[in-house]
A and B are shown apart, each in its own frame.
Chain A
Amino acid sequence: MNQYILRKLGWALLTVAFVVVLNFFLFRILPGDPARAVKDPRLTQQSIEALQRRFGLDRPLHVQFFFYVGNLLRGELGTSFHQQRPVTTILAESLMNTLLLIGAGTVFSILIGIALGVLAAWKSQTVVDYGILIGSLVAWAAPTFWFGIILLFWGSSHLGLPIGGKLTIGANYAGWWERWLDIGRHMFLPTLTYTIIYAGQYTLFMRSAVLEIFSEDYILTAKAKGLRSMQIVRDHALRNAMLPTVTVVALNLGFTVAGAIEIETVFSWPGLGQAIIDAVDRQDYPVLQGAFLLLAISVICANLIADLLYSYLDPRVRVG
């Protein structure tokens, strides 16, 4: 077991090291120059050169690379070229907002996805099954930004929900609960969008996994023993059917840190997705490097967790 975990950890660390190197060179082979990121007659040649000096872009590439790695080893991600703030501060602020949104969305989409998936499998070939199947397919296939805009128009017009941001700016709150209620109102529509789209995906995975399990001999045995349907699902089918769903959830978790870009854009949620788009627009290398490193680590960690969970859910994985 320990050897299994150590092997997985080793691979994870190696991947992070590879990402660190790739991260640095990837952005620098793109055309353009952060010091020329704007087209403006006021940006003189002297200013461009002064900016290149300030950003350290006048140094040879390998020197820049060693500075970057050196800073990274000290836990520093540098200072944003354009916001003049430490990258760690920028990423921490936006990551918290993203995690809040994604966290709620993930929990609800897993709950709803598992419940609907099991229900559809249990009521297989009935109106309930067909209804859930079609609904899930539509939810999963709908473009996120389109679906988000529809919900935004509906929610703001008919429910009076806020259109953008995390809080009502300038509001004075009587207490922490009022503040969180306000955050909850702002989070509602983006979380709903996220939940519906991902719940559709989880429902489909869960449904097919449970259906597959239902055809196993031990389910037939359970039925022969006279167990109630609910008991069969709960005690025999659910845990075995969780394996493929755990894979998808774990993989999604890694990618969702970046995958919320569209939802954050539609609902003006000040999260990591927005920060990345801004940094790409401005060729803000330090922010991009930091953000991509964070994304890579989150994907790697999610995979690692999935591997470890696998070994818990299905002990055969450890041996294999």
Chain B
Amino acid sequence: MKSNVRRWFATLSGLLVVWILAACASTPTTAPAGEPAATETTTNGAVTLRVGWPGSPDTLNPGTGVLTEAYTVYNLVYDTLYRLQFDGTFSLDAAESVETSADGKTWTFKIRQGMQFHDGQPLTAKDVAFSLNLYKTHEDFPFLNFYTVYFESIEAPDDNTVVLTLTEAIPSLESQLLALYILPEHIWSYYAEGNATTEFENAEMIGSGPFILKEYEQNAFVHLVANKEHTRTPPKIDELIFQTFGNEDALVQALVTGQVDMITEMPNTAVPVLRRTDNVEVVSGPPLSPSVRDIIINQLAPENCPPDDGKCTGHPALLDRNVRLALAHATDKQNIIDVAMLGLAQSGLTLVASGQAYWYNDTLQDYAFDIAQANQILDDAGYLDRDGDGIREMPDGSRPLLFRLQWPTDIPEAPRIAEILGQTWAQIGVKTEPQAQDPDALTAVCCPAFDFDILIWGWSWGPDPNDPLGVMRTDQIPTGSSETGYASSEFDALYDQQAIELDRAKRRDLVFQMQELVFTDVVYIIPYYQDLVQAYRTDRFTGWITDAPTLALEDPSVLTTVEPVR
């Protein structure tokens, strides 16, 4: 017995020593920082680009996907009728031409010939019509069903033609079709009905895009190989691997040590270090999907309180534009950008972000950071500090200007923003009660409950201004989409007008008017539009697109153009 124990002990100790030696003695697969590395290849000689990212697709089924990483993979594996360009315009992709009827309701697409799915089956107009109909009929598709709201019918009279009829003419059809991926009917028709569609894992993920799925492991990696037969954009690399890293420090270290060739995200604090690292290039700019940080002010009028879900406990002072305006004047956006974002953001105006270039109203003059002016506005409006405790009271003296200030725990910079807001707002006699909340808990107090005063949160949009403007409509108050409770019949009328205005320039005028209206009403305070910061190794691949108006190195347009350094 005793000698057995000794033997076990000795064996295991020996194993530990062997393991240490083996692990450390094995040749590292990658070069350390500063040393030029040969292009990463697998043992079969394929040119493999490795991308590190902090997430992982939640599912390979495009109908049920929610996370950004999932959509990145869908964009690489599937084709769509249109592609979004980095300058915000759309280009035809799987369709070679389109004709629109005079009333704008009927769109006839001619599908490119010679396209085929990754399993060798031809891609025809029938597949396109099948896919669009599938998205239209499934309300339980969390996102993609939304894009088919205006679709009345989709038909494929022959193998090359798709006729899409709308319930009303809309100006943003291209942006609606961007994420409606073309699925192979010969596979998905078996899963087209009921729960079968949403329960379909789509493990093979047969598409027709520039990359083919080879292997996928949840929370670990996505391994794609190039579709060299792709008719428009055959990739120049052979394989593409997305590797998931559980924390951003590891992600940065993976790039520094050359274990990955590109990273899609990083903490802003890592930027100075990476800028000093040899063979690493850091790029920043507005993301392809604009990202807005907003300060949400609960201005829900009591008569608009949602009857079923509303608690409507917002501070009454916030209904007064003067108070909101004073808060805007007392918000030091540049300091927030410098301190909380380390300078990697653009000062904001309204929910429509600067990244939505054509639709962004840059003629608006932002409220100056001016504590004296903010104090004057509150003085004039009758909000005085009657008891001398440093906090102003309502004009009738009923309540102090004490606001709950909450934010979700998944925004790392939010505590710093809250701290800066607390400091500058205190200078105008406004006190805040800061509190971080779990995102779900915050959703529960936010909307449609309106059980808050002020929140720090954010949005990420598509290219069309419908989304940012839509959340401010009065009819969105009970649905939970409206966060502020803002109600303006003038705004609603303009929204309806722009939603069906087919003339792009005229629509832009309407969109500009709407931005001016909500800016003047101080519906939100927008501290900044977040820049995307990405980095890649310069000693491995070349051809990265970094000079476009928006940035997304993981976009198909980049990943099909990069090539190894020779």
**Chain A interfacial positions (CB closer than 8 Å to B):** 30-33, 36-47, 49-51, 53-54, 79, 82-85, 90, 93-94, 107-108, 111, 115, 149, 152-153, 156-157, 159-166, 168-172, 181, 184-185, 188, 234-235, 264-270, 274-275, 278, 282-283
Contacts and interface: CB of A to CB of B under 8 A. Distances in A.
Given A169-B223, A171-B43, A268-B245, A47 B140 contact: yes
Contacts of B12: 107-108, 111
Nearest to B215: A169
B265 to A, nearest CB: 14
A43 B143 contact: yes
Contacts of B172: none
B9 A266 contact: no
A50 B12 CA distance: 55
Interface of B: 2, 9, 12-13, 16, 19-20, 22-24, 26-30, 32-33, 42-44, 46, 48, 50, 58-59, 61, 64, 66, 138-143, 145-147, 149, 195, 198-201, 215, 217-221, 223, 239, 241, 243-247, 249-250, 253-254, 256-257, 259, 438-441, 443-445, 457, 459, 461, 467-468, 470-471, 479-481
Nearest to A38: B66
26 contacts: A31-B440, A39-B459, A42-B146, A45-B480, A47-B143, A47-B145, A54-B140, A54-B195, A111-B13, A156-B253, A156-B257, A157-B32, A159-B24, A160-B257, A162-B29, A163-B254, A164-B246, A164-B250, A165-B220, A165-B243, A166-B220, A169-B243, A170-B46, A188-B23, A234-B2, A282-B58
A84 B142 contact: no
Given A47-B142, A82-B58, A159-B23, 6 more contacts: A38-B142, A46-B139, A54-B140, A169-B220, A188-B24, A266-B250
A153 to B, nearest CB: 6
Contacts of B23: 159, 161, 184-185, 188
Contacts of A83: 58-59, 218
A40 B42 CA distance: 39
A172 B439 CA distance: 42
A90 B481 CA distance: 33
Nearest to B408: A39
Chain A CB within 10 A, most for which of B215, B440, B470? B440
Contacts of A162: 29, 259
A181 B26 contact: yes
A52 to B, nearest CB: 9
A119 to B, nearest CB: 13
A81 B64 CA distance: 10
Contacts of A275: 219
B443 A265 contact: no
B200 A84 contact: yes
B24 A44 contact: no
A168 B239 CA distance: 14
Contact of B467 (A37, A42, A54, A274): A42
Nearest to A174: B43
